[in-house]
């Protein structure tokens, strides 16, 4: 039984049941085709690994590093913002390195939350957006993201009616799990609302480089006033296929970056220096690995949409991210996403993530991660043919 305050505030992990079943199946010799976890399977570019090896061989590279990140890496992040978004940042005051963006999001929640604060998070969303704040002692008010107009109306209503008034609004576009994208006008409106209602905006831009329709996702920091109210998180995990390295970045308002840096200075000593130097090599070096990642995810996306569709499972084609977000087919809809995912795994050997794990309003959906190759995707489609 959970005894501690924070334990009691965290519900049972929805994905645990499917994960347990996956393990049982594997032990029983079933070849599970796994679209569950968004864990990139491609390796990083060779020059990044070479740089890691080279710096790790230096006897001086093994001491504690700096929790906010070494200055050269913060400057490299500044150059990325400059060339990709045409945004000039002060690497000293407006950028902080994090141990993956997940750690950054959680530490930031710790930094800005007082017990009992209310924060606004889209439902469904990536779990840390909500649970980072729940762990920090806040109450979460979910908002629905269908289209921007309704979203902003709901956010405004929440700001007017909630007592205490919400302090934070979390945005994540391209979205995990829904794959929705937004344009710069959306961020302009968000910043306007934030200033009106005294909200902090967190923008999670983990999928900044995984897009398929030719329109690179914008950064909220392209809106000049965002520098007063927003903090944005980016990550090397998906962009450079480096999820295990735990390397992410926060950028934006000096006040918000300052709060994050302060908490981090108590919590950690920063990433291993060779990883930080290799991250500079990734940001400043050849970028063709990103193009190749996009090509691979696009190929898998097209293969999945086409072959699953033929098997009777209609999956909308995602414009961005490494996921597809699919409504549960009519025949199984009343089961809900957890039961449906279990039935699908049990009868076909195909594993997906139940939408419920991303929030109550995700329950009519499942999320499919594009981490299996086209041959395995087609194999999954064949296994599902009778099921639908």
Task: Note whether 257 binds ligand PLP by CB under 6 A.
Answer: no
Place of tokens 């970045």: 249
- The interface region with ligand PLP, picked from 66-74, 100-108, 113-121, 145-153 by CB under 6 A, is 100-108
Q: Which residue's CB is nearer to ligand PLP, number 66 or number 176?
A: 176
Q: Minimal distance in Å, beta carbon 98 to ligand PLP?
A: 8
Task: Note whether 237 binds ligand PLP by CB under 6 A.
Answer: yes
Residues 140 and 121: beta-carbon distance below 8 Å: yes
- The interface region with ligand PLP, picked from 42-50, 97-105, 269-277, 358-366 by CB under 6 A, is 97-105
Q: Which residue is nearest to ligand PLP (CB)?
A: 100
Q: Which residue's CB is nearer to ligand PLP, number 248 or number 349?
A: 248
Q: Minimal distance in Å, beta carbon 12 to ligand PLP?
A: 20
Task: Note whether 126 binds ligand PLP by CB under 6 A.
Answer: yes
**CA 204/CA 121 separation, integer angstroms:** 12
Q: Minimal distance in Å, beta carbon 292 to ligand PLP?
A: 19
Site for ligand PLP in 259-288 (CB under 6 A): none
Q: Minimal distance in Å, beta carbon 188 to ligand PLP?
A: 22
**CA 152/CA 190 separation, integer angstroms:** 8
For 69, the token pair is 């990140």
Task: Note whether 206 binds ligand PLP by CB under 6 A.
Answer: yes
Place of tokens 């195909």: 350
What are the C-alpha distances in Å from 209 to residues 204, 212, 215, 286? 13, 9, 10, 14
Q: Crossing angle of helices 127-135/100-112, nearest 10°? A: 40
Task: Note whether 235 binds ligand PLP by CB under 6 A.
Answer: yes
Q: Which residue's CB is nearer to ligand PLP, number 38 or number 349?
A: 38
Q: Minimal distance in Å, beta carbon 196 to ligand PLP?
A: 26
Task: Note whether 102 binds ligand PLP by CB under 6 A.
Answer: yes
Query: β-strand 365-369 against 353-354: which pairing, if any?
Result: antiparallel
Q: Minimal distance in Å, beta carbon 346 to ligand PLP?
A: 26
Q: Minimal distance in Å, beta carbon 385 to ligand PLP?
A: 30
One residue of 94, 154, 204, 209 binding ligand PLP per CB under 6 A: 204
Site for ligand PLP in 158-177 (CB under 6 A): 172, 176
Binding pattern for the stretch 289-308 against ligand PLP, x by CB under 6 A and - elsewhere? --------------------
One residue of 65, 66, 67, 101 binding ligand PLP per CB under 6 A: 101
Q: Minimal distance in Å, beta carbon 34 to ligand PLP?
A: 15
Q: How many residues are present in the chain? A: 388
One residue of 243, 274, 289, 318 binding ligand PLP per CB under 6 A: 243
Task: Note whether 36 binds ligand PLP by CB under 6 A.
Answer: no
How many residues make contact with ligand PLP (CB under 6 A)?
Answer: 13
Q: Which residue's CB is nearer to ligand PLP, number 180 or number 307?
A: 180
For 5, the token pair is 């305050």
Task: Note whether 100 binds ligand PLP by CB under 6 A.
Answer: yes
Q: Minimal distance in Å, beta carbon 204 to ligand PLP?
A: 5
**What secondary structure, in 3-state letters, does the chain show?**
CCCCHHHHHCCCCHHHHHHHHHHHHHHCCCCCEECCCCCCCCCCCHHHHHHHHHHHCCHHHHCCCCCCCCHHHHHHHHHHHHHHHCCCCCCCCCEEEECHHHHHHHHHHHHHCCCCCEEEEECCCCHHHHHHHHHCCCEEEEECCCCHHHHHHHHHHHHHHCCCCCCEEEECCCCCCCCCCCCHHHHHHHHHHHHHHCCEEEEECCCCCCECCCCCCCCHHHCCCHHHHEEEEEEHHHHCCCHHHCCEEEEECHHHHHHHHHHHHHHCCCCCHHHHHHHHHHHHCCCHHHHHHHHHHHHHHHHHHHHHHHCCCCCCCCCECCEEEEECCHHHHHHHHHHHHHHHHHHHCEECEEHHHHCHHHCCEEEEECCCCHHHHHHHHHHHCCCC
Q: Minimal distance in Å, beta carbon 99 to ligand PLP?
A: 8
Binding site for ligand PLP (CB under 6 A): 38, 100-102, 126, 172, 176, 204, 206, 235, 237, 243, 248
């Amino acid at each position: 039984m959970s005894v501690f305050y924070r334990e009691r505030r965290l519900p049972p992990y929805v994905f645990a049941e499917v994960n347990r079943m996956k393990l049982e199946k594997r032990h029983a010799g079933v070849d599970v085709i796994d679209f569950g976890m968004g864990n990139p399977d491609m390796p990083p570019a060779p020059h990044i690994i070479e740089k890691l090896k080279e710096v790790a061989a230096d006897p001086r590279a093994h001491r504690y590093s700096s929790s906010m990140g070494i200055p050269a890496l913060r400057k490299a992040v500044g150059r990325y913002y400059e060339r990709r978004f045409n945004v000039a940042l002060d690497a000293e005051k407006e950028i902080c390195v994090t141990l993956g963006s997940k750690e950054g999001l959680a530490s930031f929640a710790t930094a800005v939350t007082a017990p009992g604060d209310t924060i606004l998070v889209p439902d469904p969303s990536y779990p840390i957006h909500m649970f980072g704040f729940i762990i920090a002692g806040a109450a979460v008010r979910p908002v629905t993201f269908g289209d921007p107009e309704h979203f902003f109306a709901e956010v405004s209503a929440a700001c007017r009616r909630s007592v205490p008034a919400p302090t934070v609004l979390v945005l994540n576009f391209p979205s995990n799990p829904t794959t929705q994208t937004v344009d710069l006008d959306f961020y302009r409106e968000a910043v306007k609302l934030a200033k009106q209602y005294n909200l902090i905006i967190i923008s999670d831009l983990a999928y900044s480089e995984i897009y398929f329709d030719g329109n690179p996702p914008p950064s909220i920091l392209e809106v000049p006033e965002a520098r007063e109210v927003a903090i944005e998180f980016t990550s090397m995990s998906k962009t450079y296929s480096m999820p295990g390295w735990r390397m992410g970045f926060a950028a934006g308002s000096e006040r918000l970056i300052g709060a994050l840096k302060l908490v981090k200075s108590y919590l950690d000593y920063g990433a291993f220096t060779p990883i930080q130097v290799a991250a500079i090599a990734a940001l400043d070096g050849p970028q063709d690995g990103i193009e190749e990642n996009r090509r691979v995810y696009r190929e898998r996306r097209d293969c999945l949409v086409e072959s699953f569709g033929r098997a009777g499972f209609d999956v909308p084609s995602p414009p961005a991210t490494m996921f597809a977000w699919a409504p549960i087919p009519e025949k199984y809809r009343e089961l809900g996403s957890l039961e449906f995912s279990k039935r699908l795994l049990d009868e076909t050997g195909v594993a997906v993530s139940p939408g419920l794990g991303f929030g109550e309003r995700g329950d009519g959906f499942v999320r499919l991660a594009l981490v299996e190759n086209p041959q395995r995707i087609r194999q999954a489609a064949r296994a599902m043919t009778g099921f639908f």
